[in-house]
Each structure stands twice: as structure tokens, then as C-alpha cells.
Structure 1
Amino acid sequence: MSLEIPATIKPWLNIFHPLLMFVLLGVSFYALYLGVKVRQLRYAEGETKKELIKGKYNVRHYQVGSILLGLMVVGTLIGMGATYINNQKLFLGPHLLAGLGMTGAIAVSASLSPYMQKGQNWARYTHIVLNSGLVAVFVWQAVSGVQIIQNILSKL
């Protein structure tokens, strides 16, 4: 099957995925910050707790996490789609496999929300471990993505 994409659009296909992913990396750090605040709230007392409640960190963490989940899945599909459209194949390598693993990890992490809302500590700890690993791999993905972009630009 041949997908003919107009020549004016093709270059944008290669740049949209990396731009989106760098934005999502920043959003991931913001979600991490909010998650730390939620954790502080859980163990705070007195005036400190009252101040943390005003920040609505739990609601914001949940909302940012939901947006992050959706955009990461879409961003993964866009990256794979752009690669396939431009090369008629996917390159099975560390960048693709790590990206797919990250997409799976964020989906599993998000699926733990109902258990965390019911106070299940195992779900909280699993959520923290999964997302810590996800952010670490995401940083590596950014580095390997820059190398891929440099490779693409050198061929232009």
C-alpha cells in the first residue's frame, strides 16, 4: 500500500513527533512535581496540610497525568506513522522499543488510579516506581531522538 503524502507536509511529519515529545517530557516533570506535592499532603498535618490542600495538587496531578497519557499514546502513534510513511518500514531499534515500553508503562500506571483512590498502597508504590522509570527512560529517549533527528537532517 502506498500512501502519497504531499511533499510540503512530509518534513513536518518528522518534526512534529519530537516537538510533542519534548513538550511531554516537560509535562512529565511537572506531573512529577505535582505527585510529590500530593505525597507531601498525604503525610502533612496542621497548617501545612491546610496550605497544601489549597493547591489542589491531587486534582491537578490527575488531570495532567490524564493529558500526558493521551498525548503520549497519540505521540507514539504519530512517530511510528511518520517513520512508516517516510520509509515504508519501522526501524526496530532501542528508540522504538523504549517508546513502546513507555507507552505501556504509562497506561498501566494510569490504570492504577482507581486502586489509589481506594487507599491501596501497593498501587501507589507501583505507580511511583513505574513513573520514575518512565521519566528516566523518557530522558534517554530525548537524547536518542535528537540523534535520530540529526541523522534525518544530515540526509536532507
Structure 2
Amino acid sequence: MKISFLFLAIVTASDAFVAPTNICKASLKPIESTVSTRIFSSENDQENFPIPEVPTDGSKSFNPLPAATVALCLLSSTAASAAGPDWGVFEGKTLSLLHPVMMVGMLTLSASTALLGFEWRRQRTIGDDISALKKQLPKLDGASSVSEALKACQSSEEIDSSQLARLKSALPIESEMKELQTERKTLAAKGPRDKHYGQGAILAFTGTVFAIEGPLNTYARAGKLFPGPHLYAGAGLVCLWALALLMVPQMQKGNDTARTVHIGANISGIGLFVWQLTSGIPILLKVWEKTSWP
């Protein structure tokens, strides 16, 4: 259909601007018949838009019929292009609702990843707390614990009252040290370091994918994007994820500044994520109202 329109447009356009002197009305009858069939759908249309008579005296003149045919072909082509492609399921309710569902899931994953990060930080720094408590202990005279040293002091023939008092005051410190050691073993068994890294990588990948999928889905449904808080928050969130990942190599080298930036970027990202979900609720309601299954 498009090829026939194009051919007809080329033929009639050449006839519109260069009319041979030997042209006759009879030779234009087939073209008039074809154009009338394509342009007018009823006799009423032909009465409202009559085809002008072609001069038979051999004189040159501008024939408006071919020009009208060219304009009709161009308008038909433009209208067909403006309709846009049919995206099918991509502009339906199924994939449109997949985006908000994934956003809620990724917010939950973000909170879980943050908790794992703090657990790994606790496991890594708890040794410093244990070392600080050890410095507060008195001399144990070869005993393995404060309790053992206290028993040895009490069973000796000559009791050193000052040493005995120091050992008794050190009992709470020893108890606290044992609690910290137990906590460190529990954290080590959970493996928060590897889990934190794995979930963070999944979050960065999935979040980037759906940050792109969201605008594409909107464009498939509406044919345009709607700049606003939701779109800006999503773009800023991806940038914060990238910043957090950028700090990882320096963190592995013991850079405390990189750790601070990493933690700050992730906490800010969670706050931005909550704002994005809030700003996306009106969009979700419109999608639910204006889209159909699937």
C-alpha cells in the first residue's frame, strides 16, 4: 500500500508541474478514476470536492488534482508513522506493575544489605573493643583467666588484699570480654561480609536495570516521559549506588574516608528510595486505571 501511494505520488507530482501540450482529457481519465477511488469514499464526498476539468486546448496550466493526491499520500504516511508501534505486553498492566513490585522488593533488599554491612563492620571492629578491655585487666600471674587467678590468690597462704580487690573488680571486665568474643564468633558464623557484598552487587545490577525499564515502559504506554520527583529520585539513586561501589576498592585497603563515603551514600540512597516509592504511588494508581491485562 505504501509503495503504490509513493508511485502514484511521483507520477501525479510530475504531471502537476509539467503539463505536456499534447495532453488530453481522455488520457487523464484513468488517473482521475484512480484518484477518485482513493480520495473519495462516497458520492457525497465527490459532490463536496468535485474534480476540476482539465483543459483540452493544449495550454499549460496547473492541475490541482495531482497536487492533492501528493498531499493525501504524505498525510497518510505521516498519520501511519504518528500512530507508533504496538508494544503489546510491554505497555500492558503486567509489565507496568512489575516495576513498582520490584521497587518494593529492592527497598527491602537495601535494608537487609545495610544491616549486613553494619554486622560486618561490627565483626571487624569488635576486636578493638576486646583489646581495650584486656588492657584494663590486672596481672594474672600466669593464670588463664581472672576467675582462675582469683582462686589462686584466695587459696594462697599469704593473701594479697590489694591483688584480691583488683581481681574481684576485674571479674565484670572478663565477663564483658567473653560476651564480645561470643558475639564475634556468632557474626563470623553468619558471614556478613560475603553476604553484604553479594546482595550489594545484586541490588546495584537489578536497580540499574529497573531504573532503565521504568522510563522505557512509560514511553511505551504514553509515547513520552514525565519529568518529576519520581524520575529524578530514581536517577539520583543509581548515582549513589555507583558512588558506593566506587569506594569498595579503597575500603579493602583500609581507607576510613572511603568507608564513611560508602556508608553515607547507602544511607542517603535508602532515604531517596523511600521518597521515590512515595512519589510513585500516584503513578501506580494511574497505571492501574489506564492499562489493561496482560
**TM-score range relative to shorter protein:** over 0.9
Tell me how far apart the structure 1 counterparts of residues 196 and 89 of structure 2 sit (CA, whole Å): 40
Pairing 1:2-151 to 2, within 5 Å after superposition: 2-6=84-88, 10-45=92-127, 46-151=181-286
Moved more, 104-113 or 67-76: 104-113
Please tell me whether the aligned partners of residues 90 and 217 of structure 2 are also in contact (alpha carbons under 8 angstroms). no
Could you tell me how far 1:7 is from its partner in structure 2?
5.6
| AA matched with 2:232 | L
Encode CA deviations 1:62-98: one digit per residue, 9 max, x unaligned.
0000000000000101101101111111111110011
TM-score by length of 2: 0.50
Determine what percentage of the aligned residue pairs are the same residue: 32
Please tell me whether the aligned partners of residues 93 and 288 of structure 2 are also in contact (alpha carbons under 8 angstroms). no
Q: 1:3 to 1:121 in 2, by over 3 A?
A: farther
TM-score by length of 1: 0.92
Tell me how far apart the structure 2 counterparts of residues 49 and 80 of structure 1 sit (CA, whole Å): 45
Structure 1: tracts of 5 or more residues without a match:
none
Encode CA deviations 1:84-130: one digit per residue, 9 max, x unaligned.
11111111111001100001110111121111111111111001111
| AA matched with 1:5 | W
Larger Rg: 2
Encode CA deviations 1:30-73: one digit per residue, 9 max, x unaligned.
00110110111122133322221111101100000000000000
Q: Which has the higher contact order (CA 8 A, sep 6+)?
A: 1
| AA matched with 1:11 | K
Q: Would you identify which runs of 4 or more consecutive aligned residues in structure 1 move more than 4 Å?
A: none
Q: 1:125 to 1:9 in 2, by over 3 A?
A: same
Tell me how far apart the structure 1 counterparts of residues 218 and 258 of structure 2 sit (CA, whole Å): 35
How many aligned residue pairs are there?
156
Could you tell me how far 1:155 is from its partner in structure 2?
3.8
Moved more, 123-132 or 4-13: 4-13
Question: Superposition RMSD on alpha carbons, in Å?
Answer: 1.7
Could you tell me how far 1:8 is from its partner in structure 2?
8.1
Tell me how far apart the structure 1 counterparts of residues 259 and 278 of structure 2 sit (CA, whole Å): 29
